Amino acid sequence: MHMISVFRPENPADLALAESLLFSSDIPCFVHNRHVSSVLPGVQIGHVNDCAILVPEALADEAREILKIFVPDTSPQSGFWQTIRVVAEFLVFGWFVPAWRRLPKSCDKSR
């Protein structure tokens, strides 16, 4: 069975709502990275720490239609403002990216 991503929730509440809507409509779904997103908090990076709701390919259109009732736009965000947002998050939250730091000589045990 081939599964297709129909929704990427931004928070656990959206995930619970979308899952319950699909469950009540008898559409089986799988949440990719359900628990990884809570273990790796912070800026959401695609396929690293964000969730995706996957449904069977045959039911994808029906699932999108059901989710469209509560989620106006189920297509992935893209465009100018999304790019600006990503750049701003990097500049503001750039500290979360590991950086090489030199240890002081007093801490260097290799010598």
Query: Where do the domains of the chain lie, and which CATH numbers do they carry?
Result: 3-96 (3.30.70.790)
pLDDT attached to residue 24? 93
CA dist 96 and 68 (Å) reads 34
CB 48 within 8 A of CB 40: yes
Which long-range contacts link 71-77 to residues 24+ away (Cβ below 8 Å)? Answer: 71/7, 71/14, 71/18, 74/6, 74/7, 76/8
Alpha carbon separation from 64 to 23, 26, 53, 104 (Å, rounded): 13, 14, 11, 55
What pTM, to 2 d.p., does this model score?
0.58
Give, for all 111 residues of the chain, the pLDDT tens digit: 799 999 988 778 888 999 999 999 999 999 988 777 666 566 666 666 678 899 999 999 999 999 988 765 545 556 787 788 878 877 877 655 555 556 566 655 555
Partner residues linked to 52 by β-bridges: 32
Angle between helix 60-68 and helix 12-24 axes, rounded to 10 deg: 120
pLDDT at 107 (0 to 100): 59
